[in-house]
Structures are given as C-alpha cells and as structure tokens.
Structure 1
Amino acid sequence: MPKIKIPPVLRNATSGEREVNVEGTNVREVLEALASRHPATREQLFNPEGELNRYVNVYLNDEDVRVLQGLDTPVASDDTVVILPAMAGGAR
C-alpha cells in the first residue's frame, strides 16, 4: 500500500498523522484517498478544477511528479509519496 508523508503544515488536517497508508494506482488516486480520509486536506491539495494547487509539490520516491506524468504517474504498493508545500516569504 503506498505511503504518503504528511508535512507539518497539514498535520492538523490529518489528526497529527505523519504518514498515511492509502490505496491507489496513481498519484491522483493516492491523494484522493487521503482527501477522502481527511477531508480538510482537499482544498489544501487541489484547486477547484481538481488539479494540484500551484504551491503544492508532490514527489514520488524523490521525483517531482510534474516532471513525470503529473497526477497520472503510476504508484506501486511500496512507493512513497511526499507532499511538500512551497515556502515563500522573506525580507526585502
């Protein structure tokens, strides 16, 4: 079963879970399974059109899914999906 690593910023939405195991054959299904289990993550991850929010980076085994097949990237049962929200800010 694929594993999703949850970043600290989303852990309030997952009842503090750091990792979640879910079913899915591609990245979209895995993230949808997370959102079904923890509905508060949905708007953090997806825009209204169902695509990844532009400030959310998702990695499959250390590869950015945007340079693979995006949300259609196949996922195997022993894969790890990492959600990494983009950081912004700083001083001028």
Structure 2
Amino acid sequence: MGDAGGTVTVLVPAVLAQHTGDRRELTVQVPGTTTVAELLDVLARDYPIFGRRVRNEAGAIRRYVNCYLDGEDIRGLDGTGTRVQAGQQLLLIQSVAGG
C-alpha cells in the first residue's frame, strides 16, 4: 500500500443500486494504492448483498459483471489483483439477459 491516501469512485449500475441504498456512485477511502479485490472487500463489508452479486464464493468477479478501471477492462489487466490508486474510477456493468 502506498503512503498517500484518497478516494476511489465506484460507479454502480442501476440493477445493483438497490443493494447500495439506491446509490449509483460510491466513494471509497483508500490508503494510496490498493487492489480491485481489496476495494470490493470494503464494498462487500458495507453492502453484503451487493458483494455477493458482484463476486462469487471464491472471490472472483461473476462472469456477467464487467469491471473497468478508468475505462480499461480489468480482465485485460491483472483481474482483481489490478492495482487501484486514489483518484481512479471503477465502473461496474452487469449484463442483463433478455429475449
């Protein structure tokens, strides 16, 4: 973890906002740098149902949830091990099936 702290903004899709008190934008205090997994751990602690909708029992992001850090898909980076710094934005998008 880095030494300078700050916040990371997490943008939540409408379909998941019902599990975050209808908040579509969450601000998470971070100690400089952290990982996507650690950031999601904080959110899961504060919003347990949200946490279960985003990650499976093993802690992996569910296949129907896409996660972008400053516009880059974390699957093309280091997955949930991707480093996150204060000032960055994490966007979660949940696929919705329909027919």
TM-score normalised over the length of structure 2? 0.85
- Between the aligned partners of 2:29 and 2:80, the Cα distance in structure 1 is 15
Q: Is the counterpart of residue 57 in structure 1 residue 63 in structure 2?
A: no
Alignment of 1:26-65 (within 5 A): 26-65=35-74
Q: 4+ runs of 1 displaced by more than 4 Å?
A: none
Identify which of 2, 8, 30 aligns with 1:2: 8
What root-mean-square deviation, in Å, do the aligned CA atoms of Structure 1 and Structure 2 show?
1.1
C-alpha distance after superposition, 1:26-77 (max 9, x if no partner): 1111111111111111210111111111111000000000000100101010
User: What's the counterpart of residue 3 of structure 2?
Assistant: none
Bigger helix share: 1
Please, which runs of 5 or more residues in structure 1 have no aligned partner?
Answer: none
Indicate the percent of aligned positions where both proteins have the same amino acid. 36
Please, which runs of 5 or more residues in structure 2 have no aligned partner?
Answer: 1-6
Q: Is the counterpart of residue 19 in structure 1 residue 25 in structure 2?
A: yes
TM-score normalised over the length of structure 1? 0.91
Higher deviation after alignment, 27-36 or 17-26? 17-26
Bigger strand share: 2
